[in-house]
């Protein structure tokens, strides 16, 4: 039967369009129940004995939730207890329209077999389709559609011969809807009512999201925040320029401050500063908000203070805040556009990991939850199992933030495990950084080659056979995913032939299949301390693609002919078969080169490579490539407990840079080739030059030591960094380089058709891409595919040539890379904490890296560890501080002035007083300032810990 | 225009018949042929109607669009007419054959209908000087069997009666910026008052008498005809002479009077029919094009 759906909509140009869609109704849509004999469903989803023990419904029943129940109580529905639920199409469509994440979650639940969730396409069923009536709102129609479907189920199941007492129960939180349903003779309950009636699952009650009617009961009538404007007002405001739209970014060091990054047209994105809770107006990190700018007189400068929201569980914080916000003495140049949030355009709430701060009142059910991410405010949740959750890492979702509440309201979702547990903490940091880390699905694994795998005749026919070459790989110790190998040999004409051989991952991962999609989504392999989250399944990463020694492997080779001056005479790309003769570590390779007695092929090949690499590096530096530094550390792990037992900064050998140099060369060669071939859709990598203002801190810092840093070009910067050496302070140069690194922009992937600036600033190369690590980076796989098409070694496919699709892919890759980096850092930080936990109290020397208004940030070079020494402690009157932002320097009690790079002595301890955020505490030991520095801790406290 | 060729003898036969108030198909001189009207036949228009009169078949669709009003009448909306002579109707219309006729027909329709006397054009104004509704009246000739104008006018009137324009509100913010907001209820719409919409009565001079609703054969016997647009109250809004021949003033007067009389008599049953049809609501049986 044909019906038509008609609706009018406004077009972007302001016109009004009437749209008519055909809508077909059928009578062969099955109810999906096992008891039903009428429907000819082959594999019914809903069980015969649908039994959830409930005080309200003592008979078997199917649940039908309405849209709002699905939207708000998805955490409940996801619980394994909830089974035999009918999700109506009306509900599903509305959910999809209103919240994409919830839609995905409910879809996942439907696909899970054990949950017995059934989608009933009531909108296309002849007996349950309803048309909107005159004077009925869209929501009312949907509610009616839900009731009609529920009623149909009731009548339909009654007809089944052995249905027994089977009923359907409608879950709705809408009072009017519930009343109408009861009038129609339906069983309808409020979600809370039903969940509370469940016998044997009291923990579910905690996961109930607080709904709006309950919010009013929680706090008194005091209104703390101004109202958000309705969306229509915001939109008109944005259109005529009174409001600005942007992404809200909370300041992680100061909870009273945030910036809104306004997406301007083209490049002119601006930042708006927000100060004070009222002006932040309940926006949460990453929300899309509308802000109103203050007049110029009210603009403020970002405060350099570090403020933590450490209040106890109270609501009376504003008085203190007002005082904290006292405006600092201002220079007009420091003023930034300042404004306030007038409305939220889109919330970007996700479930947050963190820990519970138990309420001081015993038996209280309301507690504050402190998220691990310091951008996120604390969240109030209601739970009766608080005592069981204390000390555990839990996940909490935000439900809403009413105007009269200091904190947003949320509900408990999941318990991850004890805090400080290595497993739990790793899980937390993976979740917090959105790293996909589930095991690979069956669908993905099905695309792996069948074992035993061997190179076939066909493979050999289309590939260059390079097995006779003396290829070897050089990697860090313990590396199992070897994606590059090298060779070098002398040609008859006296020139050298150098080959870089990269694992041919694109041979195994064909475009578009599940394996490819999964890899594209993961984007990169994530290396944590003692754990690796692979981008491709292990069979590929550690076996078939890994260029291990003495096995035949497929490779993508880039072979150059060079003269002794490392000038490229000819470049040649080919798919190949290689057989690596040795897998060396950097140290082993270095030893071979240095050992004059060794004279075998491999060693000679290495020496040739090393000599060329030095020339290449020299030339690169000549062109202005930067050598930057970051304090990287490596943990020595206990082989059994996997606890870190020692840590050392990473050491660089000649061979490191030898491999690096040839990888850079290969990447540049490939970038040129694919750009030449596909000027519109080559995937490249660029590193934009940072705006000069980024260097301010670096220049100021150098000036404080009477040195000058030139920042007008990469070359000038590199040269002035090289020249910036202080006698008697060998680490000074490294410190400067660490600072310079912090001034840099992120390198990003992009599609050549979407951008015009290709330069890689750090490498001083006009064009660059990633080609050499396809096992651990998806970008390289795409580059491999492009190159394969360019040399006619493989076919193309539409998505590869679509610059918009490429561009979306690049965005994902950039995001995943950034997140992987953060996760890596977080993992290092966590292991550093573990290390210090075992060490007890340590006294170390460090350097001041930054000077802030009320604190100094100290780097301990030995551990690559950064920490903050606060001069103001909560509750105690702080010492007298005077801050000079020009220096920058900080004078404490008129006794001592701290400058950047000053050497200080600190004690390092693990502050476990707040298990929620375990942190490394540093306290000043030297210079001694009365009332500020701490005494040298007596060794007695240290001894027993060492004995253990 | 579509025409038939008939012999002298046939002409004489028809003319003699008309003289005696008895036409070939049994009608009197002031009788219309059997008429079928159906409204709401094209779902993606805002209003539509199909009229069948003898074998003449006309489909009218009305689309409303928001446009800027004409500068000389900033507080009024307006109508646009387009007549498409489908090659279905007659092979002569094939290619661009129907174009000239189409333009002529639409110009005539414009004269007849686009006046504030027949339709309250002010009601089509949304925001003076900025937005008004423009009604695009598209006429499709499906089959020609004489008397196109009458059929078209009836179809247009029925379609206008059927037209539902979505209601819009103009929101104004502090700076005077205007924003159009659509009502989200599809039933919340603007209806047009069709009380004063005229119908066209075409009178065809055959011999010394004139006939209404001439068939193609009758038309072939006539040298000139008179188009009279009549409102339900009997007011004449437009008179036009069609055809190559001439008309003497007396017969023009006579024909106008007949036109008024016939027109008035035509409106009453038409409105009654439309209202009855509308009152059926969803129970109305749809016939469409397969009848």
Is residue B213 left, alpha or beta, with left meaning phi > 0 and alpha meaning psi from -120 to 50?
A: left
Q: Do A236 and B182 touch (CB under 8 A)?
A: no
CATH number at residue A337: 2.40.50.690
Which residues of chain B does A7 touch, with a Cβ-Cβ cutoff of 8 Å? 186
Is omega for the bond preceding A888 within 30 degrees of 0, making it cis?
A: yes
Q: Which of the two residues, A105 and A304, has the higher pLDDT score?
A: A105
Average the pLDDT over A923-937 and give the result: 69
- CB–CB contact A240 B177 (8 Å): yes
Please compute the mean of the pLDDT values over residues A714-720 and round it to a whole number: 81
When CB atoms are compared, the residue of B166, B173, B187 closest to A16 is B166
Among A371, A372, A360, A369, smallest CA distance to A389 is for A369
Q: For residue A764, tell me if it sits in a domain.
A: no
State the Cα–Cα distance between residues A513 and A529, nearest whole angstrom: 31
B227 or A199, higher pLDDT: B227
Rounded Cα–Cα distance for residues A60 and A513 (Å): 42
Q: What is the predicted pLDDT for the residue at B167? A: 86
The answer to whether the beta carbons of residues A140 and A34 sit under 8 Å apart is no
Task: Collect all residues with Cβ–Cβ distance below 8 Å to A698 and sequence separation of at least 6.
Answer: A709, A711, A736, A739, A740, A743
| Residue from the list B44, B171, B184 with its beta carbon closest to the beta carbon of A18 | B44
pLDDT recorded at residue A328 = 47
- pLDDT (tens digit per residue) in B138-184: 999 998 888 899 999 999 999 999 999 888 888 776 566 677 777 77
Does the distance separating the beta carbons of B166 and A232 come in below 8 Å? no
Considering the domain architecture, whether residues A153 and A296 belong to the same structural domain is answered as no
Of A757-761, A863-867, B252-256, give the lowest mean pLDDT range: A863-867
**Which band of pLDDT confidence, cut at 50, 70 and 90, is reported for residue A652?**
low
Lowest-pLDDT choice from A61-65, A122-126, A691-695: A691-695
Cβ <8 Å between A232 and B45: no
- A interface with B, Cβ–Cβ below 8 Å: 4, 6-10, 14-16, 18-20, 132-138, 232-233, 236-237, 239-240, 242
Task: Work out how many domains chain A is built from and give that number.
Answer: 4
pLDDT band with cut points at 50, 70 and 90 for residue B227: very high
Per CB-CB distance under 8 Å, the chain A contacts of B43 are 4, 6, 20
A201 lies in the same domain as A241: no
Q: Find the domain containing A881 and state its range.
A: 839-947
The count of residues in chain A is 948
Residues of chain A with pLDDT > 90, as a percent, come to 10
Residue B229 CA to residue B14 CA, distance in Å, equals: 26
Residues A515 and A564 in one domain: yes
pLDDT at A943: 36
Residue B138's CB is within 10 A of a number of other CB atoms, namely 19
Q: Please indicate, yes or no, whether residues A815 and A843 belong to a single structural domain of this protein.
A: no
Query: In this structure, is residue A1 part of a structural domain?
Result: no
Q: Which residues of B touch A138 (CB under 8 A)?
A: 184
Location of structure tokens 């290709």: A758
| A218 pLDDT higher than 60 | no
Alpha-carbon gap, residue A32 to A472, rounded angstroms = 61
Using CA atoms, how far apart are residues B26 and B33, in angstroms rounded to an integer?
A: 10
Which of A233-237, A522-526, A628-632 shows the lowest mean pLDDT across its residues?
Answer: A628-632
**CATH of region B8-282:** 3.30.230.70
Predicted confidence at residue A203, as pLDDT, reads 74
Tally Cβ neighbours within 10 Å of residue A656: 16
**B-chain residues near A20 (CB < 8 A):** 43-44
A236·B177 Cβ contact <8 A = yes
Element (H, E) at B14: helix B8-19
CA–CA distances in Å: residue A473 to residues A92, A482, A485, A585, B249: 53, 8, 4, 8, 110
Rounded average pLDDT over B32-44 = 90
Q: Which residues are within 8 A (CB) of A218 and not within 5 positions of it... i.e. 6 or more apart?
A: A210, A366, A380, A402, A405, A409
- Strand-strand pairing, B178-182 and B164-166: unpaired
Closest Cα of chain A to B174: distance in Å? 10
Q: Provide, as residue numbers in chain A, all residues whose Cβ is less than 8 Å from the Cβ of B185.
A: 135-137
Which chain B residues are within 8 Å of A18, Cβ to Cβ?
44-46, 63, 166
- One domain for residues A811 and A845: no
Q: What is the tens place of the pLDDT at every residue in A537-558?
A: 988 888 888 888 888 999 999 9
- The pLDDT assigned to A6 comes to 74
Residue with more model confidence, A145 or A12: A145
| Torsion angle (degrees, nearest 10) of CA A611, A613, A616, A622 | -90
Terminal-to-terminal C-alpha distance of chain B? 27
Verify that A803 and A907 share a domain, yes or no: no
CB A15 to CB B166 under 8 A? no
CB A624 within 8 A of CB A713: yes
Same domain, residue pair A56 and A183: yes
Chain B residues inside the 8 Å CB shell of A132: 186-187
Taking residues B216-244, what's their average pLDDT? Answer: 90
Does A332 score more than 80 pLDDT?
Answer: no
Residues A270 and A194 in one domain: no
Does residue A249 share a domain with residue A160? no
| Interval A220-264: pLDDT, tens | 456 778 888 888 788 888 877 788 888 888 877 777 888 888 876
Cα separation, A572 vs B91, whole angstroms: 69
Please indicate whether residue B99 or residue A936 has the higher confidence score (pLDDT). B99
Residue A308 has a pLDDT of 59
Supply the pLDDT for residue A360: 67
Residues A806-821: tens digit of each pLDDT: 888 998 999 999 999 8
Give CA–CA dist B189/A18, Å, rounded: 12
**What does the block give as tokens for A932?**
């500020």
Supply φ then ψ for residue A381, to 5 degrees: -125, 165
pLDDT of residue A501: 93
Q: Name the pLDDT band for A329 (thresholds 50, 70, 90).
A: very low
Q: How confident is the model at residue A913 (pLDDT cuts 50, 70, 90)?
A: low
Q: Say yes or no: A307 and A257 in one domain.
A: yes
Task: Return the CATH number at A933.
Answer: 2.40.50.140
Whether residue A69 is contained in a domain is answered as: yes
Which of A100-104, A347-351, B211-215 has the largest mean confidence? B211-215
**Of residues A6, A15, A232, nearest to B66 (C-beta):** A15
Same domain, A656 and A602: yes
Q: Which residues of B touch A (CB under 8 A)?
A: 43-46, 63-66, 166, 168, 171, 173, 175, 177, 179-182, 184-187
Q: How far is residue A567's CA from residue B271's CA, in Å, rounded to a whole number?
A: 93
Res A325 pLDDT > 70? no
| Residue with the larger pLDDT of the pair B87 and B22 | B22
- Give the total residue count for chain B: 291
Between residues A892 and A556, which one has the greater pLDDT? A556
User: Which contiguous run of DSSP H or E holds residue A436?
Assistant: none
Does the distance separating the beta carbons of A135 and B185 come in below 8 Å? yes
Contact indicator for A46, A87 with CB cutoff of 8 Å:
no
Kindly report the CATH number assigned to the domain that includes residue A76.
3.40.50.1010
Q: Which of A271-285, A500-514, A606-620, A892-906 has the lowest mean pLDDT?
A: A892-906
| Residue A105 domain flag | yes
Name A21's Cβ contacts closer than 8 Å, sequence gap at least 6: A4, A5, A6
* d(C-alpha A785, C-alpha A851), whole Å: 48
In a domain, A874, yes or no: yes
- Find which of A6-20, A68-82, A680-694, B155-169 is predicted with most confidence, using mean pLDDT: B155-169
Residue A8 · residue A18 · CB < 8 Å: yes
Give the chain A residue whose CA is nearest to the CA of B175.
A240
CA distance B124 to B65: 10
Distance of CA A199 to the CA centre of its chain: 39
Residue B77 has pLDDT above 80, yes or no: yes
Residue A864 lies in a domain: yes
Determine the 3-state secondary structure of A148 from DSSP. helix
Which residue pairs from A447-456 have beta carbons closer than 8 angstroms and sit at least 24 positions apart in sequence? Answer: A447/A509, A447/A510, A447/A513, A447/A514, A447/A515, A447/A516, A448/A508, A448/A515, A448/A537, A448/A539, A448/A540, A449/A508, A449/A539, A449/A544, A451/A539, A453/A544, A455/A552, A455/A554, A455/A577
């Amino acid at each position: 039967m044909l019906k038509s759906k008609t609706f009018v909509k406004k077009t972007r140009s302001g016109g009004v369009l009437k749209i008519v869609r055909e809508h077909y109704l059928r009578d062969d849509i099955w109810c999906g129940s096992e008891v039903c004999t009428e429907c000819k469903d082959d594999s019914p989803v809903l069980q015969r004995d649908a039994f959830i023990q409930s005080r309200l419904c003592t008979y078997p029943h199917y649940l039908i939730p309405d849209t709002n129940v699905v939207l708000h109580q998805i955490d409940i529905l996801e619980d394994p207890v909830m089974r035999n639920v009918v999700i109506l199409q009306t509900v599903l469509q509305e959910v999809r329209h209103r919240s994409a994440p919830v839609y995905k979650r409910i879809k996942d639940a439907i696909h899970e077999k054990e949950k017995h969730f059934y989608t009933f396409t009531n909108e296309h069923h002849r007996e349950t389709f309803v048309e909107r009536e005159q004077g009925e709102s869209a929501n009312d129609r949907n509610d009616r559609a839900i009731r009609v479907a529920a009623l149909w189920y009731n009548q339909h199941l009654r007809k089944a011969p052995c249905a027994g007492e089977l009923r359907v129960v409608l879950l709705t939180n809408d009072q009017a809807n519930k009343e109408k349903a009861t009038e129609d003779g339906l069983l309808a309950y409020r979600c809370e009512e039903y969940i509370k009636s469940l016998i044997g699952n009291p923990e579910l009650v905690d996961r109930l999201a607080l709904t709006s009617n309950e919010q009013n009961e929680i706090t008194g009538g005091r209104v703390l925040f101004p109202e958000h404007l309705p969306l229509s007002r915001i939109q008109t405001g944005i259109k005529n320029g009174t409001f600005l739209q942007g992404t809200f970014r909370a300041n992680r060091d100061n909870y009273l401050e945030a910036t809104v990054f306004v997406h301007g047209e083209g490049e002119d994105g601006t930042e708006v500063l927000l100060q004070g809770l009222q002006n932040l107006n309940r926006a949460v990190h990453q929300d899309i908000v509308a802000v109103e700018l203050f007049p110029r007189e009210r603009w403020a400068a970002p405060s350099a203070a570090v403020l933590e929201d450490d209040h106890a569980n109270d609501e009376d914080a504003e008085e203190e805040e007002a005082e904290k916000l006292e405006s600092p003495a201002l220079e007009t140049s420091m003023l930034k556009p300042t404004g306030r949030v007038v409305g939220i355009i889109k919330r970007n709430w996700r479930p947050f990991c963190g820990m519970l701060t138990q309420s001081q009142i015993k038996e209280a059910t309301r507690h504050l939850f402190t998220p691990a991410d310091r951008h996120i405010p604390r969240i109030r949740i209601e739970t009766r199992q608080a005592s069981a959750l204390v000390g555990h890492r839990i996940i909490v979702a935000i439900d809403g933030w009413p105007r009269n509440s200091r904190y947003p309201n949320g509900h408990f979702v999941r318990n991850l495990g004890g805090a400080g547990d290595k497993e739990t903490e790793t899980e937390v940091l993976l979740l917090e950084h959105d790293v996909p880390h589930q095991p690979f699905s069956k669908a993905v694994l099905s695309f792996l080659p069948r074992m035993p795998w061997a190179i076939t005749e066909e493979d050999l026919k289309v590939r260059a056979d390079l097995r006779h070459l003396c290829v070897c790989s050089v990697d860090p110790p313990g590396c199992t995913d070897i994606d590059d190998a090298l060779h070098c040999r002398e040609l008859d004409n006296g020139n050298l032939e150098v080959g870089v051989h990269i694992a041919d991952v694109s041979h195994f991962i064909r475009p578009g299949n599940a394996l490819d999609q999964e890899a594209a989504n993961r984007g990169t392999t994530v290396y944590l301390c003692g754990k690796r989250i692979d981008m491709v399944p292990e069979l590929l990463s550690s076996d078939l693609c890994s260029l291990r020694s003495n096995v035949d492997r497929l490779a993508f080779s880039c072979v150059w002919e060079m003269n002794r001056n490392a000038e490229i005479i000819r470049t040649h790309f080919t798919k190949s078969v290689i057989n690596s003769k040795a897998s060396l570590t950097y140290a082993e390779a270095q030893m071979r080169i240095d050992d004059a007695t060794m004279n075998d092929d491999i060693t000679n090949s290495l020496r040739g490579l090393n000599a060329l690499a030095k020339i290449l590096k020299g030339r690169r530096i000549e062109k202005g490539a930067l050598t930057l530094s970051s304090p990287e550390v490596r943990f020595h792990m206990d082989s059994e407990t996997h606890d870190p037992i020692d840590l050392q900064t990473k050491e660089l050998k000649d061979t490191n840079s030898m491999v690096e140099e040839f990888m850079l060369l290969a990447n540049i060669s490939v970038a040129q080739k694919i750009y030449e071939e596909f000027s519109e859709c080559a995937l490249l990598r660029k590193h934009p030059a940072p705006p000069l203002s980024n260097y301010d801190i670096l220049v100021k810092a150098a000036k404080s030591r009477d040195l000058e840093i030139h920042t007008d070009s990469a070359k000038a910067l590199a040269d002035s960094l090289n020249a910036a050496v202080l006698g008697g302070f060998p680490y000074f140069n490294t410190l400067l380089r660490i600072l310079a690194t912090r001034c840099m922009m992120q390198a990003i992937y992009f599609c050549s058709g979407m951008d015009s600036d290709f330069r890689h600033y750090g490498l001083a190369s006009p064009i660059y891409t990633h080609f050499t690590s396809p096992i651990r980076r998806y970008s390289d796989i795409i580059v491999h595919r492009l190159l394969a098409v360019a040399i006619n070694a493989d076919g193309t496919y539409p998505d590869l040539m679509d610059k918009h699709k490429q561009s979306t892919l690049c965005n994902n890759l950039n995001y995943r890379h950034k997140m992987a980096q953060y996760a890596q850092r977080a993992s290092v930080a966590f292991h550093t904490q573990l290390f210090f936990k075992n060490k007890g109290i340590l006294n170390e020397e460090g350097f001041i890296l930054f000077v802030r208004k009320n604190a100094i940030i100290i780097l301990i070079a030995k551990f690559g560890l950064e920490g903050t020494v606060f001069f103001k402690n909560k509750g105690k009157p702080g010492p007298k501080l005077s801050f000079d932002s020009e220096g920058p320097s900080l004078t404490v009690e008129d006794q001592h002035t701290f400058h950047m790079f000053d050497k200080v002595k600190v004690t390092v301890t693990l502050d476990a007083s707040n298990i929620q955020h375990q942190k490394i505490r540093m306290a000043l030991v030297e210079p001694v300032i009365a009332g500020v520095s701490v005494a040298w801790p007596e060794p007695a406290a240290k001894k027993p810990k060492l004995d253990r | 225009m579509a025409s038939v060729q008939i012999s002298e003898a046939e002409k004489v036969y028809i003319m003699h018949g008309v003289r005696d108030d008895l036409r070939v198909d049994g009608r009197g001189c002031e009788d219309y042929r059997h008429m079928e009207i159906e409204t709401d036949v094209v779902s993606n228009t805002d209003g539509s109607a199909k009229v069948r009169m003898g074998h003449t078949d006309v489909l009218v669709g009305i689309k409303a669009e928001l446009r800027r009003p004409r500068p000389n009448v900033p507080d009024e909306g307006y109508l646009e007419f387009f007549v498409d002579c489908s090659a279905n109707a007659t092979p002569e219309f094939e290619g661009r054959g129907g174009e000239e006729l189409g333009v002529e027909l639409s110009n005539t329709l414009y004269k007849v209908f686009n006046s504030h006397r027949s339709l309250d054009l002010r009601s089509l104004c949304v925001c003076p000087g900025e937005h008004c509704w423009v009604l695009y009246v598209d006429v499709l000739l499906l089959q020609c069997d004489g008397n196109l104008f009458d059929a078209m006018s009836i179809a247009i009137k029925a379609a206008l009666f059927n037209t539902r324009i979505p209601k819009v509100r103009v929101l104004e913010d502090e700076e005077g910026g205007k924003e159009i907001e659509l009502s989200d209820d599809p039933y919340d719409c603007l209806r047009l008052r069709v009380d004063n919409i005229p119908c066209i009565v075409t009178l065809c001079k055959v011999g010394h008498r004139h006939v209404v609703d001439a068939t193609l054969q009758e038309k072939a016997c006539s040298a000139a005809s008179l188009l009279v647009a009549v409102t339900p109250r009997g007011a004449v809004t437009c008179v036009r002479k069609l055809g190559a021949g001439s008309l003497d003033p007396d017969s023009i007067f006579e024909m106008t009077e007949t036109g008024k009389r016939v027109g008035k008599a035509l409106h009453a049953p038409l409105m009654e029919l439309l209202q009855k049809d509308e009152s059926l609501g969803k129970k109305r049986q749809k016939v469409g094009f397969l009848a």
